[in-house]
Structure 1
Amino acid sequence: MMWILFVTIFIVLLTYWSFKKPKNYPPGPISLPIFGNLLSVWIALKTYKLHHVVWKKWSEKYGNIMGLKLGVLDVVVVTGKDLIIEVSNREEFDGRPDGLAFLMRSFEKKLGLVFSDGKIWNKSRKTVVKCLRNFGFGSRSMEYQIIEECNALVDYLVETAGQPIKANHMFNVPIINILWKLVAGKRYDIKDERLEQLCTLVYRSFKTNNMSGGPLSSLPFLRYVIPDTIGYTEAKMIHRELNAFFSEIIAEHKATVDPKNPRDVIDILLIDMMQNKEIFTMEELHVIMLDLLEAGVETVNNTTVFMLIHLLLNPDVQAKLQKEIDAEVGTRKPILDDRSRMVYTEAVILEALRISTVAAMGIPHKAMEDAKLGDYFIPKGTVILLSAYELHNGDHWKEPTVFRPERFITSDNKVRHEDGLLPFGLGKRRCMGEGLARSELFIFLTHVLQRFNIKVPDGDPLPSTEPVDGITLSAKDFNIVFEPRF
């Protein structure tokens, strides 16, 4: 009967551990043994639908620093501009979570650009940025690549003019091509079926979880019990398919690489490996490719799609935008130099970044050591979620639910830059692709609205601004008609 005693002691210790919170841990909902607040989250989602709304409602009760227990994870939700800025700029909060949901995508190791930290992250970011700059990243040549892809999209819209098009993923291939030309030295046709399938896989991977890590991270042992229910089976399949795609590209490069004439980022990294410089392993190369594929596509595509929705719902904004394009650009193609004169267009983009906030909780941080935040103790290893959606849509904004670009225009007709608008984060972990993303949003918006009026197909309902939950927020499916203006 000794085993019964051991099991009993184990259960008692597990129950005690799951109830126990560190001394002076931030306040939050009462947690249950083993599950912590997971059941409370599940119940709250029945009412509020979206994770970031649940965190907002609870933070209103428990404060701007709210402590949760999600299974095995200590999670702190931070709300408010000053606290978000503080966390973003403090080195001890620069870590990334260790949860299974985040490690599955990187061979269950901390690799790559997005979900690594410490020396690995510093090495990856420094090396990849240097390689990208060798091929024009951040330089004037990127503008030409953005315009090239935008021209291909406009040509496609001309072919399909007047026909209803599903808008949700229409920018995926052009956005991938802009960066992929530097990474892998190739571009894809806008109707390429293989790349469309890969974009679908990326989309599904972002919908199987949320930024807290979900059950895969909070109760990882469930993968051995109910792998299908918690998304483990699907996540494995998705990353197996994505890695097969990366393996094909790497194999093509290996077969044709010239050590004296690297063509792209993959070539440079492969040459370094061949010369035993030990810059990266093959696994690291896979994860870097995944990071570069995912990061730009989901955020820029989703923001652009939400921007189209708001233009459909606000035809007066669409008309003002087109009036400015006509006045400042005319019939020639817009370029980035036009931005400084196109105040209303910039305001539309800023308002889209604010009201949509597709990275509703940013990318999760992790406490690298025991720390104090406000009056509370944050234990080493705690996952920290920054409530970017509330920062951009809280009551401190006048009419936050109204799409009103004028809020970003001063009385003397200049762009107003609000320090409470932080769509790309702050500090060392600020998005390295911010400049590229802002350029893409401007070029895509101006090129499309210069050539087309956009409207909802006859008989279709107006598109919804209510997002679909996930690691990033995305729009519900809707159709759009592009009618040529000239």
Structure 2
Amino acid sequence: MGSPAPRRIFPDFRSTIAGFLAGVINTSGKLWKEQRRFVHDGLRHFGMSYLSSRKARMEKRIVSEVDDFLQILQAANGEPLDLNPVLAVSISNVICDVLMSVKFSHNDSRFIRFMELIEEGFQLFGSLEYVFFIPILRYLPGHSKTRQKIAKVTTQPPNLRLKTSKPPPPQNREEMAQFFQEVIDDHKKTFDPSHLRDLLDTYLFAIQKAKEEGVADHLFEGKDHDRQMQQIIGDMFSAGMETIKSSLHWAVLFMMHNPEHMRAAQEELDQVVGRLRLPKLEDLAYLPVTESTILEVLRISSIVPMGTTHSPIRDIKLNGFHLPRHAQVVPLLHAVHMDATLWAEPQRFDPSRFINAEGKVHKPEFFLPFGVGRRMCLGEVMARMEIFLFFSSLLHSFDVRVPAGETLPSLKGIVGVTISPNPYKVCLKPRPLGAEGVRAAGAR
């Protein structure tokens, strides 16, 4: 059997994001291998690791955002609240710290606009996925308009446009690139090669070193350095913001639908963690009910329904099927998670399916929330940390309830590149911590 190549880039996808084939997600071959290794090593160095010293650094980042998140929820005073925008900024700030050592406020209009672009991009690309597999469908009505929303697509080259015509406004990918470039330019002004603060600094250091050695033209296979950094930022937000935010959004929704499982997790948290502090990562090993509840949310929601495309580098046989060279091989993760031959009653929310006879958490090999193979999610470690700390702290601090007079929100999701819940509001009744009945920030 031939070993698989990292990925085949669909021709229609390539044309849709012309000029954006950089980073990790949208590349293949040598560039992909180099970039994945570079990003992986950088993320481990800055805390995305289960090694105790580095894990503590990452936990400190996440805890800071959890504290701010809980204070915003507390300020809602039990009134109906849309968690989506609050989660978006809280989760993004963790990534921003690792990537570029910055933190945005929850009312920063520029950053809120960026969050909207990320969410819009996921939905737009999701609406075009069928075209990447069946290219002739590009001729269906509405396809070209969607492409134009993603990246500026014009029917006439600039030199043929009328002098009086105005250039089209920036579209999704272009507007995001502008935001990323502003971040990169700001970072260059404060760059100190003797003190690398974050992942962007490691890129700037690599560029500086390549220039000193006279090999800058070969760095990133000759691609524009700023464009490469733009896409790396975009890749990290794509992998680490929308998916984590949607996972937590789904988790709250499933607690509204299954209050008995919420109470079971809360009882375990009260017993193991106590009422004087919030959960820590070190508590996870002693919280099988809470962890299995999170795992069941990841399974049944299948945030990323399809894994990243793979491609064999030569003709191969797999389970009796012939896969020609460069065939498109797409893991259908949602189908695996809903396969009745693998999971009993897969449509039913049942965290106990992840607990074995000894009462320990067990993850079967067909549980694939972060993908499979060499293109598994780079941010899996950070995602698991964030989801646990946000979810467990939320349940430890609040009861999740349906707003008075409202019906349960739908469990039907919005399908794009990811599957996210339809908008809903939730009421959060405080579960006071500590002797004073009010939790102080940092009480862990």
- Normalised by the size of structure 2, how large is the TM-score? 0.83
1:470 corresponds to which of 416, 426, 437: 416
Look up the match of 1:292.
236
Cα gap change, 1:389 to 1:226, in 2 (>3 Å): closer
Aligned: 1:268 with 2:214: no
**SS of residue matched to 2:314:** coil
Partner of 1:171: 87
Equivalent residue runs for 1:82-97 within 5 Å: 91-97=3-9
* Ranges in structure 1 where 5+ consecutive residues have no aligned partner: 1-85
Question: Among 259, 267, 271, which residue is 1:327 paired with?
Answer: 271
Question: Any residues of structure 2 matched to 1:109-188 within 5 Å, and which?
Answer: 109=21, 111-138=22-49, 139-140=54-55, 141-188=57-104
Quick one: distance in 2 between partners of 1:92 and 1:129? Answer: 20
Task: State the 1:459 CA deviation.
Answer: 2.2
2:406 equivalent among 454, 460, 464 = 460
- Mapped contact 2:289–2:351 kept (Cα < 8 A): yes
- What's the Cα RMSD here? 2.3
Mapped to 2, the partners of 1:390 and 1:218 lie a distance apart of 20
Q: Distance in 2 between matches of 1:220 and 1:246?
A: 34
Is the Cα–Cα contact under 8 Å of residues 310 and 329 in structure 2 kept in the other structure? yes
**1:377 matched to which residue of 2?**
322
- TM-superposed deviation, 1:449: 0.7
Which structure 2 residue ranges, 5 or more long, are not aligned?
A: 152-170, 433-444
Shift of 1:362: 1.5
Matches within 5 A, 1:184-333: 184-210=100-126, 213-215=129-131, 218-219=134-135, 229-236=144-151, 237-275=171-209, 276=211, 278=216, 279-280=219-220, 281-331=225-275, 332-333=277-278
One-letter identity of the residue aligned with 1:287: Q
Q: CA shift at 1:128, angstroms?
A: 1.7
Query: 1: CA distance between counterparts of 2:280 and 2:334?
Result: 31
Retained in 2: the 8 A contact 1:99–1:217? no
SS class of match (2:428): strand
CA distance in 1, matches of 2:257, 2:304: 22
- Matched residue SS, 2:249: helix
CA contact (8 A) 1:362 1:386 kept: yes
Give how far 1:379 is off: 2.5
2:63 partner amino acid:
I
2:158 aligns with none
Task: Look up the equivalent residue of 1:398 and give its one-letter code.
Answer: A
Partner of 2:159: none
Of the structure 1 ranges 387-396 and 231-240, higher mean CA displacement relative to structure 2 is found in 387-396
1:430-475 residue CA offsets vs partner (Å, 9 max, x unmatched): 2221111111111011111111111111122211111111111111
The CA distance in 2 between the partners of 1:120 and 1:191, in whole Å, is: 38
In 2, Cα distance between equivalents of 1:164 and 1:483 = 10
Q: State the AA in 2 paired with 1:234.
A: K
2:409 partner SS: coil
Cα distance between partner residues in 2 of 1:394 and 1:95: 26
Alignment partner of 1:258: what SS?
coil
* Partner residue in 2 for 1:422: 368
In the alignment of these two chains, the number of paired residues is: 396
Are residues 106 and 298 of structure 1, via their aligned partners in 2, closer, same or farther at CA, if it must alter by over 3 Å? farther
Whole-Å Cα distance in 2 between the matches of residues 95 and 313 of structure 1? 39
- 1:132 shift after superposition: 2.6
Give the Å deviation of 1:255: 2.0
State the AA in 1 paired with 2:25: V
Counterpart AA for 2:107: K
Structure 1 letter corresponding to 2:177: N
Provide the C-alpha distance between the structure 1 equivalents of 2:136 and 2:179, rounded to a whole number of angstroms: 27
Percent pairwise identity: 28
Q: Give, in whole Å, the separation in 2 of the partners of 1:282 and 1:227.
A: 32
What CA distance in whole angstroms lies between the structure 1 residues aligned with 2:131 and 2:409? 31
Give distance in 2, aligned partners of 1:227 and 1:213.
14
Contact 2:12 2:131 in 1 (8 A): no
Deviations 1:254-280 (A, max 9, x none): 222223223222122123223415344
How far did residue 376 of structure 1 move? 2.8
